[in-house]
Structure 1
Amino acid sequence: MRNRVRKKTESQAVKDRRLGLLLMIPVVIVVFVIMGLPFIRAIYWSFTDKVIGAEANFIGLDNYIELFSDKIYWKSLTNTLIYTVLCIGAKLLIGLLWAVLLNQNFKGKGFFRTALLIPWALPGMVAAMTWRWMYDSTYGIINSLLMDLGIIDLPIAWLSNPKIVLFSAIIVNIWRGVPFFMFSILGELQTLDRQVYEAATVDGAGVFKQFWYITLPSIMPVIKVTTLLSTIWTFNDFENVWLVTGGGPLYASSVISTYTYDMAFIQNSFGRALSVASSVIPILIIMMLVFSRFAKKDE
C-alpha cells in the first residue's frame, strides 16, 4: 500500500514538473525574442565594421585587437572600476549606518525616512541637472557655501578639472544610491527578533558585540543581494555620468557606458562601440559568479 502511494506521489511530481516546464516555454520564447536575438545581433556586429546607413562587413577580431592599443578604452575601463568600487563601498557603509539609526525609536523618524528617500525617488534628469547647477564654478551653491565658510578662497572647477571630475560624478551616484541600501537593510532589520537582543544584553553583550555577532550575520543575505544588484547597475551606469560630466573633460570621467555611446552615436562606429560593450561581459559574469559563491557560503 505504501509503495503504491509513493509511486502515485512520484508520478504526480513528475507530471507537475513537466507541466511547469511546458508553461515556461512561452515565457522563454518571449524573453529570447525580446532580449536574446538583439544580444546575439549585437555580439555579431562587434565583429564587423558596422556604421549607420551601411551594411556590416565581417572583420573578425580587428575591433577587439584595436581596443588593446586604445588608451581611452583603458582609461574608461579603469574609471569604471574606480567608479564602481568607491560608489558601492560608500553606499553600503552609509546605507547600513542610516538603516541602523532609523531602526531606533526617536522623534521625527518618519520625517527622516521620507526625506532620505527623495534622492532615490527623483528622476535621473532632475537629479543630474540639479547637481550640475550645484557644481557650477560661477553660480554653484557648493562653491558659495565653501567660500562663505572660509574653507576655500577660489571656486573649485568640479566639472572641468580632470583630476576631480570623476569624483564629482561618484558623489552624485552615492547620493542617489544610498536610499536603496538603506531601505533594503532597514526592512530586514525590522524583522529581527528583539528577544535575541534582550538575551544578549542579559549575557553582558554590548552594543557593538550585538551588532557584530547578531545584527550583521542576520542581515548579511540582504546585504549580499543588494550589493550584487547595485554593483551591476553602477558598473553599467550611463545616465548619471553622461548627464553630470558628459564623460569629459578629455575623457577624464569617461566610463565604459559613456565611451560606448560616444563611439556609436558621436563617432558613428557601431562595430567598435559594440566591441567596447561586449568586452566587459566577462567581467560582469565573473562578478556575478563571485557574488553567487560568496552568498552560498553562509547557506
Structure 2
Amino acid sequence: MKEQVAYKAGVAAALKHPAPPSRLQRLLRSLYRERIAYLFMAPFLLCFTAFILLPVLMAILMSFTSYDAFRIPHFTGFKNYISLITQDTVFMKHALPNTIKFAFFVGPIGYLLTFFIAWLIYQLPKSVRDLVTLAIYAPSIAGGIALVVVWQAAFSGDYVGYLNQFLMNYNMIETPVLWLQNPKYLLNVMIVVTIWMGFGVGFLAMLAGFDTVNRELYEAGRIDGISTRLQEVYYITVPSMKPQMLFSAVMAIVGTLKAGAISVQLTGMPITKQYAGHLMLNHIDDYAFIRFELGYASMLSVVLLLFSYAAMKLSYRLFGPKDGE
C-alpha cells in the first residue's frame, strides 16, 4: 500500500515538474520556430551541400584510396600522405617551395600593395578617383585574355617583345631574353602578373572601407597627438575598417592558392620546363588529368585545403573582431 502511494506521488511530481528537454528536443523546437527562415535559406544550403560540402567530403575520403577513374577505389590508408613526404620529390623540390615563394610575394606583399594603392586613390578627388579605380580594376575583369594578349607580348622572347625592346634601347641587354621559357625568370614573371591582376573585389572592398571610417576620429586623433598620415592609418584607419580588410585578406588567399593556371596561360604548357612555374595546383592537375591518379590528387587537394585553412585562421587572428569590439 505504501509503495502504491509513493508511486502515485512520484507520478504527480513528474507531471508537475517535467524533466528538462534534451539537446535534440531543443534543436527540433528551434528548427520548428524558425521554419520560415530555414525555408528561405534552403536554396543556398542545398547548393552549398551539393557543390561544396559533398565534394570536400568526397575528396577527403578519396585521399585514402588508390583510384584511376576506371576501377573501383582501393583503400590504402595513409599511404598517399606518406608517399607525399617520402617519395614525391617534385612536390618537395619544386611545387612546395614555388608555392611558398609565390604565396609570400602575391599574398602579404600584394595585399599591402593593394591597401597602399587603395589609400592613394582615396586621396584623389571623387571625379578622378572613379576613373583611376576603373583603370586599375579593369585587368582583373579581363582575366586570361589580358594574360595572352598583353603579357605574352610584353615578355615575348624575340626582338619585338616590349620588355626586350625597352631594355635593348637603353643598352641594358645585348640579346633578347626568353622570359617565359627560361626557368630562371618564369616564377618571377608569374608573381608580377598575378599582383597586377590582383586588384579585384578585395581592392574594391578596401576602397569602400575608407568611406566607412568616421571623419570625426581623425579630428579626435589630432587632438590626442596624432600628427602624421602614417599614424592616422595605423591608429585610426586600419582598426576602423577591419571587416573590409578581413574580406580582402580572404580574397587574396583564395586568389593566391588558385593561381596555378597562370603558368599554363603564359607558357602554353601544362608542366613548365624544369618545373620552374610548378605550383601546388599544377601538381594536382598533373596527377588528376594527366596521370589519372585521382586518389593521390585528392590527397593533394586536402593538403592545399589545410594550407588555406591555416591562412584563413591567421587572417581572422589579425583582422577578426576581438572581445569587446
Taking every aligned residue pair, what percent have the same amino acid on both sides? 26
| Distance apart, 1:28 and its partner CA | 3.1
Give the TM-score normalised by structure 2: 0.78
**In structure 2, what is the Cα distance between the partners aligned to 1:54 and 1:130?**
44
Distance 1:97 1:293 in 2: 21
- Give me the whole-angstrom Cα distance separating, in 1, the residues matched to 2:306 and 2:147: 31
Q: 2:151 aligns with which of 108, 131, 147?
A: 131
1:99 — aligned with what?
A: 118
Moved more, 87-96 or 285-294: 285-294
Cα–Cα, structure 1 residues 129 and 53, in superposed 2: closer, same or farther, change >3 Å? Answer: farther
Q: Distance in 2 between matches of 1:213 and 1:292?
A: 19
Compare 153-162 and 21-30 and name the one that shifted more: 21-30
Map 1:79-98 → 2, pairs under 5 A: 79-98=98-117
Runs of 4+ in 1 over 6 A off after TM superposition: 12-15
Change (3 A) 1:26 1:159: closer
Quote the Cα distance in structure 2 between the aligned partners of 1:208 and 1:34. Answer: 44
Task: Specify which of 293, 316, 321 is matched with residue 292 of structure 1.
Answer: 316
**1: distance between equivalents of 2:32 and 2:78?**
47
Instruction: Report the count of equivalent residues.
Output: 288
Match of 1:273 in 2: 297
Residues 68-87 of structure 1: pairs in structure 2 closer than 5 A: 68=85, 69-74=87-92, 75-87=94-106
Deviations along 1:87-130, one digit per CA (max 9) or x if unpaired, are: 02232222222212211234743432221121112132442453
Whole-angstrom CA distance in 1 between matches of 2:212 and 2:314: 28
Equivalent position of 2:176 in the other structure: 155
Aligned to 2:192: 171
Contact 1:124 1:239 in 2 (8 A): no
Higher relative contact order (CA 8 A, sep 6+): 1
Q: What corresponds to 1:57 in structure 2?
A: 74
The one of 306, 309, 312 equivalent to 1:282 is: 306
The aligned residue for residue 9 of structure 1 is none
Gaps of 5+ in 2: 1-28
Q: Distance in 2 between matches of 1:39 and 1:104?
A: 43
Structure 1 residue aligned with 2:241:
219
Q: Distance in 1 between matches of 2:149 and 2:83?
A: 35
| Contact 1:135 1:158 (8 Å CA) reproduced | yes
**Structure 1 portions without partners, runs of 5+:** 1-11
Q: Secondary structure at the match of 1:190?
A: helix
In the alignment, structure 1 residue 39 sits paired with structure 2 residue 56: yes
Backbone CA RMSD of aligned residues = 2.8
Partner secondary structure for residue 198 of structure 2: helix
The question of whether the paired residues in 2 share the 8 Å contact of 1:50 and 1:269 is answered with yes
Structure ID, larger Rg: 2
Kindly indicate whether the alpha-carbon contact (under 8 Å) linking 2:139 and 2:146 is maintained by their aligned counterparts in 1: no
Distance, in Å, in 1 between the alignment partners of 2:81 and 2:236 is: 49
Measured in 2, the distance between the counterparts of 1:37 and 1:203 equals: 54
Contact 1:43 1:274 in 2 (8 A): yes
State the partner residue of 2:7. none
Q: What is the distance in 2 between the residues matched to 1:95 and 1:54?
A: 47
- The one-letter code of the counterpart of 2:180 is L
